[in-house]
Amino acid sequence: MNLDIIAQRGLHMLGCGKMGSAMLAGWLGQGVPKGAVWVQDPQPSDWVQGTGVHVNKSTATAPAVSVLAVKPQMMGAALPDIAAFSGGDTLILSIAAGTPIATFEAAFGTGTPIIRAMPNTPAAVGQGITAIIGNAAATSAHMDLAEALLSAIGQVVRLDAEDQMDAVTGLSGSGPAYVFHMIETMAAAGQAQGLPADMAMQLAKATVAGAGALAMQADEDPSQLRINVTSPAGTTEAGLRMLMNDTDGLPPLMKATVKAATDRSKELRA
């Protein structure tokens, strides 16, 4: 990450809860000077106050980036506090779910570079993935800076249009909860077959984590990885016959799950 502009002009955070703290920890770990960070939060955690960053103090000049990490329902009340950052000198980077770019343009003006981002909860352990989209005032340099910052908590993808953010919300934004539930159900299924509850949960957690790590590191795509571990007429094939059923297996269920979350995202911004 190129830290020069952050070190020179500073980074401001409006809100620093779980996601904001994960980001802040990543940035400090990658060398962002603690004296170049200003956090504005009504109830800062002990951890945030112990980092050495400026907490609830005014910035001397307009920062290079202002990260909006407050809850969407608090956004309207919070934006007036940073209205002075409008005009183009500061990049506005929002990680607030469901709040469209138009809302920020109404507050800061269309000449202010604004980037909307959708991270997910594995960011807390540096394994998240974030989708970003910018407004017309956000240059390629702004996008590069946002991507560099967000890379501290995982991977980053760039969207072609803002309306794709609803599908991102339905897939990766809500997706960790789907995986957590899959772990629950796998463990319960193992217990139903005679395993102790704690052992079944340990096996389920490790299996999902290990398979995910393998999928990320392997050259083959997940379809090929599945084929690789499926012996003809074996146990895995027997299980997959149930799971891959096009009528009542995982494919139609997952399609309906992501669609429901995507549709709800659309409703919330309507």
For residues 50-79, give the mean pLDDT: 89
pLDDT for residue 96: 87
- Beta strands 154-158 and 65-68, pairing class: unpaired
Sheet with 114-118, strands from edge to edge, namely 54-55, 37-40, 11-14, 65-68, 91-94, 114-118, 128-134, 154-158
CA 228 remoteness from chain centre:
31
Contact (CB, 8 A) for 101 and 114: yes
Residue at a domain's end among 167, 188, 217: 167
Of 148, 167, 186, the residue that ends a domain is 167
Nearest to 23 by CA among 125, 99, 104: 125
> In whole angstroms, what is the distance from residue 39 CA to residue 68 CA?
10
Q: For 157-175, what is each residue's pLDDT tens digit? A: 999 999 999 999 999 999 9
| Same domain assignment for residues 10 and 113 | yes
Considering the domain architecture, whether residues 20 and 72 belong to the same structural domain is answered as yes
End-to-end CA distance of the chain: 36
Does one domain contain both 158 and 228? no
Q: Give the pLDDT of residue 2.
A: 60
Q: What one-character DSSP code corresponds to residue 219?
A: S
Are both 163 and 189 inside the same structural domain?
no
Per-residue confidence (pLDDT) for residue 72, from 0 to 100: 77
Q: Which residues lie below 8 Å from residue 71, measured CB to CB, with a gap of 6+?
A: 15, 17, 96
Q: What is the pLDDT of residue 186?
A: 98
The tens digit of pLDDT for each residue in 24-50 reads 998 998 889 999 999 999 999 999 999
Do 16 and 75 reside in the same domain of the chain?
Answer: yes
Q: 40 and 157 in one domain?
A: yes
Same domain? 192 vs 103: no
Q: Where is pLDDT greater, at 96 or 115?
A: 115
CATH number at residue 42: 3.40.50.720
Residue 117 sits in the same domain as residue 28 = yes
The model carries a pTM of 0.91
Are 144 and 43 within one domain?
Answer: yes
β-strands 37-40, 11-14 pairing: parallel
Q: What is the pLDDT of residue 122?
A: 92
| pLDDT of 1 above 60 | no
Distances (CA, A) of 199 to 177, 179, 192, 202: 21, 19, 12, 5
* H-state helical runs in the chain: 4-9, 18-29, 46-49, 72-78, 101-108, 140-150, 165-168, 175-192, 197-217, 222-228, 235-243, 250-269
- The answer on 229 and 156 residing in a single domain is no
| Structural domain count, the chain | 2
pLDDT given at position 67: 96
Same domain, 203 and 152: no
Sign of the four-CA dihedral 258, 169, 18, 42: negative
How far apart (Å, rounded) are the C-alpha atoms in residues 200 and 184? 9
Q: Among 121, 126, 124, 143, which residue's Cα sits nearest to residue 134?
A: 143
What is the rounded CA–CA span in Å between residue 89 and residue 8? 13
Q: Which domain holds residue 243?
A: 175-269
Q: What CATH number has the domain bearing residue 194? A: 1.10.3730.10
Residue 169 has what DSSP assignment? I
Same domain, 87 and 156: yes
Last residue in a domain, options 167, 185, 219: 167
Instruction: Name which of 51, 22, 16, 47 is nearest 35 in CA terms.
Output: 51
pLDDT at residue 247 is higher than 80: yes
Which pLDDT value is given to residue 80? 85
